[in-house]
A and B are shown apart, each in its own frame.
Chain A
Amino acid sequence: MFYREAGQYKTNYAADMAVFPLRQDRIGIAVILAIAFIGIPLLGNDFFIASVMIPFLVFSLAAIGLNILTGYTGLISLGTAAFMGVGAYSCYKLTTFFPGVNIIVLILVSGLFSAAIGVLFGLPSLRIKGFYLAVATLAAQFFLQWAFVRIPWLFNYNASGAIEVPQRTLFGLPITGASATPETRYFVCLGLVVVLTWFASNIVHGKLGRSWMAVRDMDIAAELMGIKLLNAKLTAFAVSSYFAGVAGAMMIFLWYGGGEANDVFTIRLSFTILFMVIIGGLGSLIGSFFGAAFLSALPTALKFGLPALGVPIGGAAAEHVTFMLVGALIIIFLIVEPHGLARLWQIGKQKLRTWPFPY
């Protein structure tokens, strides 16, 4: 009754082509941003921000990256964790070489290295498709993970073999390192995710996004429209890996505060992000957020939320219950809607638009 386009007339193409053409949607996104920027820092405790919100943001960005590749361009990749690792290790090397440069700039620049590596490992996609490409990207996963551990230059010949995050400040406020508060780290993550999501949304709504979807849906016809398959697939790999790389740098510098490739950037992480994309919804940016929330925030929330709510179970039991609940929910969602949570969201909005008189 309140959510519909009645009375909202588009008088120019710019208004009609807006990402959120409905006024209610624009209000909704403003409310979400207000909650994210004001509500959560005010109301959430340190634990909630550090263990639920920051991982959620990092995974959302990585899922957006993979969604660009798999959802929008139709290329399956199992190398996401490796590309995230490239971002993290480049960021570490950059902080070593340029200690004076702001860490946010370095995090953004480190994505470029990841993009370059992504393009390199994306080259086989010109010849192979589907499951075979997935296997080819596994090569990236194994090779890069090996390189992270075996090339000591990458971790500055540390005895621990891990990235050690130095303290860096913004306007005198520490944002990385041990003394950075969860709130500041959260704000940096949130800022990066919001800006990069905005870029991603612009790209997928423009010429490049249409070329990617054309290649995904019918590559022969796409070629006939003058789209070069080489360019379309490699730009998809580049943009996707850029997002993954930035997410990886954020993961180590703003979330973990240090870490080693064999613990973090494993194939398990690659699969987790692929599942986020599939469960969230292929070819949908909002789906990436749903997927990340579902697979990263929900388990943490359940694990610690159940005992906190007074449900009388211990920590270990809560963890088991979480696994069972999340597993069951994955199956239920995939049966109810194989196209992911994003489609459920869309159907819900459509229902709302005609409610209460659906005919």
Chain B
Amino acid sequence: MNAHSMAVAGAPVTHKGEVLLSVESISLRFGGVKAITDVSFDIRKGEVRAIIGPNGAGKTSMLNCINGFYHPQEGRITYKGVRRDKMRPHRAAAAGIARTFQNVALFKGMSTLDNIMTGRTLKMRKGFFWQALRHGPAMNEEIEHRKVVEDIIDFLQIQHIRKLPVGKLPYGLQKRVELGRALAMEPELLLLDEPMAGMNLEEKEDMCRFILDVNNQFGTTIALIEHDMGVVMDLSDRVVVLEYGRKIADGTPAEVKADQRVIDAYLGVAH
């Protein structure tokens, strides 16, 4: 960053752990539309990293690149020391990257329990024939994973909706179930796309608490996109700011808040 923002922040940036994921000068185009242009940043182990920016800045596209839905035309993504910018989403899942969506992407016809159990898919190993019998090893495996899922349900305080189909739940609870489903994967890196969009104050506070608890208790690294600046400033260790697909700032919340280009991007400038 520049000297100006350092002076405002006052203290030097404290880095947690080693680099878990690094994005190096990636560019993503859809035909002539440039979604992301030459963006680099890194996510360190154990931190809460926020990605912010005005609408259409390329934040969600960035997450889609990280978990393999989009493949950037240029640049490289390195996760845990392995280059993986051409990876499929299910490979990203196997590598320990979980994700929630901006518009809730739950399995609507399934119960809360089944939704979260789906998050355990990769950890379940018993073959087809044991599943067809649903006794012995397959049943033991189901029970073992059910215990983990019940822990998550307790953690998120959604015991009462365990057996209800998620399609009928209120929005705030759906967001919570989706977080639970991602947590069931025991991810190392958790990508949250606007986890608090459309929530009231109370629901936001709950969600903030869950995110911090996940970060503290499980040591999960979190990258989140959020528009509520208060939330971003309170939760995150470091913030990267995008505008029109380019990175305009990167640093601690205090640094970013004071950056002139960020202020211009959010409030507009007189031309």
Contact = CB atoms under 8 A, between A and B. Distances in A.
B118 A210 contact: yes
Given A218-B105, A226-B185, A13 B131 contact: no
Contacts of A214: 107, 110, 118, 121
A105 interface: no
A17 B142 contact: yes
A214 B106 CA distance: 8
Contacts of B132: 199, 202-203
Given A199-B132, A203-B132, A214-B110, A220 B105 contact: yes
A222 B90 CA distance: 9
B77 interface: no
Nearest to A215: B107
A211 B124 CA distance: 12
Interface string A205-231: 111101101101110111111111000
B89 A223 contact: yes
Nearest to B147: A13
Interface in B172-188: 181, 185
Nearest to B143: A13
Interface string A223-257: 11111100000010000000000000000000000
Nearest to A223: B89
Contact of A207 (B99, B109, B124): B124
B267 interface: no
A347 to B, nearest CB: 14
B204 to A, nearest CB: 23
B121 A225 contact: yes
Interface in B82-116: 88-90, 92-94, 98-99, 101, 105-110, 114
Contacts of A222: 107, 118
Nearest to A209: B131
A208 B121 CA distance: 9
B93 A217 contact: no
B143 A17 contact: yes
A290 to B, nearest CB: 18
A12 B143 CA distance: 9
Given A17-B146, A207-B121, A220-B69, A225 B139 contact: no
A202 B133 contact: yes
Interface of A: 12-14, 17, 199, 202-203, 205-208, 210-211, 213-214, 216-218, 220-228, 235, 283
16 contacts: A17-B146, A207-B124, A207-B126, A207-B142, A211-B118, A213-B107, A213-B110, A220-B69, A220-B105, A221-B101, A221-B107, A222-B118, A225-B93, A226-B94, A226-B121, A235-B128
Given A205-B134, A206-B138, A223-B88, 20 more contacts: A14-B143, A17-B143, A202-B134, A203-B131, A210-B110, A214-B107, A214-B118, A217-B106, A218-B107, A218-B108, A223-B89, A223-B93, A224-B98, A225-B121, A226-B90, A226-B93, A226-B94, A226-B122, A226-B185, A227-B90
Closest 4 CB pairs of A and B: A202-B134, A226-B93, A217-B107, A226-B122
Interface of B: 67, 69, 88-90, 92-94, 98-99, 101, 105-110, 114, 117-119, 121-122, 124, 126, 128, 131-134, 138-139, 142-143, 146-147, 150, 181, 185
